[in-house]
Amino acid sequence: MKNTSITFKESKQRNEKITMLTAYDYSTAKVIDEAGINGILVGDSLGMVCLGYEDTLSVTMEDMIHHSRAVAKGTKNALVVTDMPFMSYQASVYDAVINAGRLIKEGRAQAVKLEGGKEVAESVRAIVNASIPVMGHIGLTPQSVNAFGGFKVQGKSEETAKKLLEDAKAVEEAGAFAVVLECVPAKLTKLISSQLSIPTIGIGAGVHCDGQILVYQDMLGLFSDFTPKFVKKYSNVGEVMKNAFKSYDQEVKDGVFPAEIHSFKIDEDVIEKLY
Ligand code: KIV
């Protein structure tokens, strides 16, 4: 069944958990889609896990469009949500609508995600008014890493917890169909999830969210720079790949690969005439 912003909202009403993973290319999107995951986020985490940047701030609209288009091509049933990169929506509501439109038209996303609470509510409303579904993102919003002074858990004090609750409600009231809660204490997530009618999608936000999302390289053990506390490694694909690369290296050097079955044939009389 095709997942949409509407089916996401219906899942919450039916008390059914939503699953999401990130993807940045055609082949990975296809595997994730075939596994039955409900949604794929073309995250701006692309900057860190694919392009090797130390944060997400340098990711451009062109990067997001390029990867979003590849993911959309590999996806049949999952809802494709694409991140609006840093400074594609912060300067004005006009920028926000134009750039959200580009991610839909050129990137073939079905929805966009942007970071922030009350301060982006007007932009969320304007994008939704342009018939583009919006996913919110509050808590640890990586595009604000410099303002936060690092990647830190958010909402631990009474004041910041109250702000997160207000931000979640502001994003919902502005028309978002779902909201990501990143690095938020589990008990606060429970409260926020119970007070919203739209689904909460957690990453480092405990079990009480209506859905979960992980960066696929993290859960597959493919990104070795650091592993956040909230990540569960479901496999060690990095090791599997390294072993395969080592075997290939050895076999080429030993003359074992390519074998006859990997080679193409030519008639003997043709080749003899060339000697
Ligand atoms: O960019 C990303 O991958 C994200 C997830 C961590 C939610 O925003």
Report the alpha-carbon distance of residue 66 to residue 11 in Å, rounded: 30
Flag whether 45 is marked binding.
yes
Q: In the structure, what pLDDT confidence band is assigned to residue 227 with cuts at 50, 70 and 90?
A: confident
- Active-site option among 159, 173, 182, 268: 182
Distance 45 CA to ligand 1 centre (A): 6
Extents of the domains making up the chain = 5-236, 240-272
Q: What is the pLDDT of residues 228-251, one digit of tens each?
A: 999 999 999 999 999 999 999 999
Q: Does the pLDDT at position 44 exceed 90?
A: yes
Q: In the structure, what pLDDT confidence band is assigned to residue 90 with cuts at 50, 70 and 90?
A: very high
Task: Decide which of 3.20.20.140, 3.20.20.60, 1.20.120.160, 3.40.50.720 is the CATH code for 5-236.
Answer: 3.20.20.60
Flag whether 225 is marked binding.
no
Candidate from 180, 184, 219 with most ligand 1 atoms within 8 A of CB, to mutate: 180
Percent pLDDT > 90 in the chain is: 96
Flag whether 63 is marked binding.
no
